[in-house]
Amino acid sequence: MSEVWVAWILEWLLAAQFALRDGLHALGLAPLVAGQPAWPFALRLSAEMMWIDPGHARRVAITGMCAVAAVLLFSVAIALAALRRRVRSALVAGLMGVAVFALLAAPWPAAHLLFAPAVPTSLHRSDSGFRPADILRGQALFQQNCAQCHGADARGQGPLAATLGRWPPDLTGGLLWKRLEGELFWRVRHGMRDERLARETMPGASPSRLSDADIWQVLDYLQARASGQSLRDLGTWERPVRMPAFALRCRYGGERRSDGLKGQRVLLVLPSAASSPAPQEDPRMVSVMVGSRADVDDPECLAEDAQLLPALALLLGEREQDARGFQLLADRDGWLRARSAPGRSAWSEDDLVCRTATATATGVQRADKPVAGAGAQGLDVLLRRMDEDPVRPVRAGFPH
């Protein structure tokens, strides 16, 4: 089964779980926990195995279709029975029989592959806006509350690490994306236990120290930190990185918020050491100078949020002073896709540091593939690839 199909099935399964949770909430059966409806079951559907084992994915898909067919058949049978026409009784029994057969004949997947343990916040979505202020406040909270074990750089080498029963994990690798964000939230709030040894491995964070909003901010920071480390170690963003949300002022359009730029490509120009000319305006993208009015003359758009530069430095895996002069390109969906180092005069396809696994694996839009139109330059190739190869973040196997 192709990856596209698996992603499609998983998207539906996730949506079905959200619908179930919200339906139960509407009926008063799923109370609010940390401001969002709780998932009331001890299990949730698991997605990881669907990617690894195509046979399992096929069984889940066929069983799902059998279950939907059975529900439809039962509904029709009940509707017919309600009409109370004598001739219909055989038909009603027949439809029910087929429905039962569909359920019995379905290739039910093994329960331990289908389900994963769940917590009340399993389906919670971060309610922080991934604003520079969230990321930096999360960093400060992490240093106060977590760094003693996880290390100031979140790589698991804190001063207390060696004294713990279990070594804290490196939070800058892929770990965060292997979890649902709501489950990370739960673990930070309530801590973790080793059930076999019946012992706490990580203490929970008491609400008097960290509010719910604080925890989401710490998770924003960890996400930014892990993105930066990925760029340092691998030269790519292994997982999509959202453009932080900031306020900006544009020559045309006045005050705006970056979320309002969806649908347009955005070029973020970080201030360089010396004051520099505004980047040449380009109709293919909105260019935003990060910094103050003193840094540049009459830019197309200016983002004066003083925390944007340090937040972007984290995403780039650079110290703030070394992040100056970088440029970042975000696609029309608000994902940061390409990075150009200070001093580089032109963009090339190699600057695309966030690309999808399928595009790399199948060689979609290879660098040497000619681009339509004469005189296509590095930036044209890059923009085409960005548009033709949209990214989707995946958490705990579920496309989000």
Q: Given the rule CB under 6 A, which residues bind ligand HEC?
A: 145-146, 148-150, 160, 164, 166, 168-169, 171, 179, 184, 187-188, 192, 194, 201-203, 205, 210, 218
Would you say 148 or 348 has its CB closer to ligand HEC?
A: 148
What whole-number distance in Å separates Cα of residue 99 and Cα of residue 95?
6
d(CA 82, CA 159): 71
Give me the least distance between CB of 170 and ligand HEC, in Å please: 10
Three-class SS of residue 31? coil
From the CB of 284, what's the least distance to ligand HEC, in Å? 39
- Long-range contacts for 370-376 (Cβ within 8 Å, ≥24 apart)? none
Give least dist CB 115 to ligand HEC, A: 17
Looking at this protein, which amino acid is placed at residue 151?
G
In the bound state with ligand HEC, the residue whose beta carbon lies nearer, of 36 and 139, is: 139
Q: Please tell me whether residue 268 adopts helix, strand or coil conformation.
A: strand
Comparison of 67 and 175: residue with beta carbon closer to ligand HEC: 175
Residue 170 corresponds to which tokens in the numbers above?
């490196």
- Alpha helices in 126-261, H assignment, sequence order: 132-145, 147-150, 181-190, 212-234
Q: Name the percent of the chain in helix, strand, coil, to the closest 5.
A: 45, 15, 40
* Closest among 17, 41, 34, 352 to 219, alpha carbons compared: 34
Is 311 or 330 the residue whose CB approaches ligand HEC more closely? 311
- Sign for the pseudo-dihedral over CA of 31, 33, 38, 43: negative
Compare residues 46 and 287 and give the one whose CB is closer to ligand HEC: 46
With respect to ligand HEC, which residue has the nearer C-beta, 46 or 145? 145
Nearer CB in complex with ligand HEC: 188/290 = 188
Residue 293, CB half-sphere, CA atoms under 13 Å: how many?
Answer: 4
> CB of 181: closest distance to ligand HEC in angstroms?
10
Buried b (16+ CB within 10 A) or exposed e, 318-338: beeeebbbbbbbbbebbbbbb
158 vs 148: CA distance, rounded Å: 5
Nearest approach in angstroms of CB 193 to ligand HEC is: 7
Question: Residue 98: how many CB atoms within 10 A of its CB?
Answer: 15
CB of 142 to ligand HEC, least distance (A): 6
Q: Which is nearer to ligand HEC, 150 or 265 (CB)?
A: 150
Backbone phi, then psi, for 202, in 5-degree steps?
A: -135, 135
Q: Shortest Cβ distance from residue 184 to ligand HEC (Å)?
A: 5
Q: How far is the CB of 168 from ligand HEC (least distance, A)?
A: 4
Rank residues 172 and 327 by Cβ distance to ligand HEC and give the closer one.
Answer: 172
Query: Minimum Å distance from CB 314 to ligand HEC?
Result: 15
